[in-house]
Chain A
Amino acid sequence: MTLDSRGREAGRAFRAEIERMETTDTDWVSIERFQRLRAGKQRRQRIGAGLLAAAVAAAGIVFVTRAFDDASERNIPAAPGRTGGLVLYGDWDDNLQQADWFTVRPDGSELHDLHLTATCAVWLPDATRILITNDAAVGAGTPLRPALVDPDGSNLRPLDATRNPDLNLGCGDVSPDGTRIALEGFGQDGHAELDGIYSIRASDGGGLVRLLQGPVSPPRYSPDATQLSFFDTKEGISPTGSGALFVMGAEGTDPVRITPWGYAFDDHAWSPDGRWIVFQRPYGQLYLVRPDGSELHQVPLNLPPGTGALNPSWSPDGTWIVFSLQRSDQAEIYMARPDGTGLRKVTSAPNAQGQHPDWAAPSR
């Protein structure tokens, strides 16, 4: 068989499989479905940040009843005011394929629009700044690089001392001592040989070191800075796109798989005491596992029907897990105890896409 004949046969088989789906799911290709998606996006676009903030403050209960039709969810309380710190989270914009970033108190008060658009954002360990992907600077010959901003979203400082134009440096995490950033790297225009996990200086983005070749996912530092965790996938895993979590030395040594294949999907976070890693299974359940792969178990959340929990992170004292509660075309930030109790709402806004919360300690 020649390459050409194999390509044509692969194309025919691919088309046949796609067409088969149309005959088994009548709603898959329907203009009604397109209009539903479009209407959802339009509703969301009408809600500006100012309106959102005012609405949360003035009429949260109205939003609750409009946004959710399940009685059990209407009983979920807002987070208590005694939990301190500040939650950073993104509101995903499908058109930009990036998020607008906000901060909010864990009790839902003091919502603040950072007027910042980026794919990823996380607090630095001392909560003095925020690490973001500097998407706005990407252009022809200018690959993706990280940047730092102040907690109010101002004073952007690009970390662009790494010059390789074929290497993008995306989402990552700052080491506990604040000196290094571990982040995903991926090649430009098919340079897959550049894919992997990298480390750069937190001061200027220089000092590039590749820690591991292959996996492209945001790594996370252990609280004692001795280890990094990351997600990886491979062909043939079910469901497609899922994978497993790994832990390795902070210098990229001895990666060890700590979950079964197919259990994990991308996001995960170390507990502040370093004893647990929380992660999401592909279909919206939160799980906990020890960094050595033992004691894998589900966080028994009593979620409203038709919802799933994603993007988990920890409170600074390790007593809460904050996450994105996803339902159909909207998502909001929630929190719960690691044993699944105490489920409560942090943000309330119709048609928002709140995700990737990161909870910083109270100001120091």
Chain B
Amino acid sequence: MLERSDPTVEASPGSFEDFYMREYLPVVGLAYALSGSRWGAEDLAQEAFLAAHRDWHRISTYERPGAWVRRVVANLSVSGFRRRVAETKALARVALLRGEAVPDLAAADPEFWAAVRELPRRQAQVVALHYLEDRSVADVAGILDMTLGTVKRHLYDARQTLARRLGVQEEEA
């Protein structure tokens, strides 16, 4: 469900309901990867979708409304202050309501994602979209409203930093 045959092409958004059902899961994943907050990720994603819903008549006309909601959640997720506040509320609430929600991702290389979250804000966003959503540089540029060159620069810098911190090669020897 998260991967599309061609990630640069978005299906017609149609109704908000269709849009939500199609995009909610990957957007929660993006919030989780960038915030590191198991409990806050859903709140951050819901906030982004509520913003989309409020202005759906306009956002639905966008060529890529999925990119818009990703940009919103990516910006929310890298704000440490907002992330902590969202996490406080969500963690307090979740056990009262329905037990566990988003899973602990012990099998998903938490060391890698923790290192991503230590990167500067824009680098973290670029890396998350590139690896988590398997998106091309062009697609990441479209989502984050950056030039191709800027995305390439962030990706290069991020890879250098990550390789050093994780003790792996940046490229094949």
Which A residues are within 8 Å of any B CB, using their own CB? 1-4, 6-11, 13-22, 25, 27-29, 31, 34, 37-38, 41, 92, 94-95, 97, 119, 144, 168, 170, 186-187, 189-192, 195, 216-217, 235, 238-242, 265-267, 280, 282-284, 306-308, 310, 326-328
Contacts and interface: CB of A to CB of B under 8 A. Distances in A.
Nearest to B90: A241
A92 B89 contact: yes
Give the interface SS of chain B, mostly helix, strand, loop or mixed. Answer: helix
Nearest to A327: B96
Interface stretch (B58-66, B115-123, B140-148): B115-123
Contacts of B152: none
Give the interface SS of chain A, mostly helix, strand, loop or mixed. Answer: mixed
Contacts of A308: 92-93, 95-96
B102 interface: yes
Contacts of B121: 189-190
Interface of B: 1-3, 17, 20-21, 24-26, 28-29, 32-33, 37-40, 43, 46-47, 49-51, 53, 76, 80-82, 84-89, 91-93, 95-98, 101-105, 107-110, 112-114, 118-124, 127, 130-134, 159, 162-163, 166, 168-172
A235 B114 contact: yes
Contact of A9 (B2, B24, B109, B171): B109
A27 B42 CA distance: 13
B96 A241 contact: no
22 contacts: A6-B109, A14-B108, A15-B29, A17-B103, A17-B108, A19-B2, A19-B25, A21-B103, A29-B21, A95-B47, A95-B50, A119-B85, A168-B81, A190-B121, A190-B123, A241-B37, A241-B39, A265-B88, A266-B84, A267-B88, A280-B92, A327-B96
Contacts of B38: 239-241
Most buried by B among A2, A3, A191, A240: A3
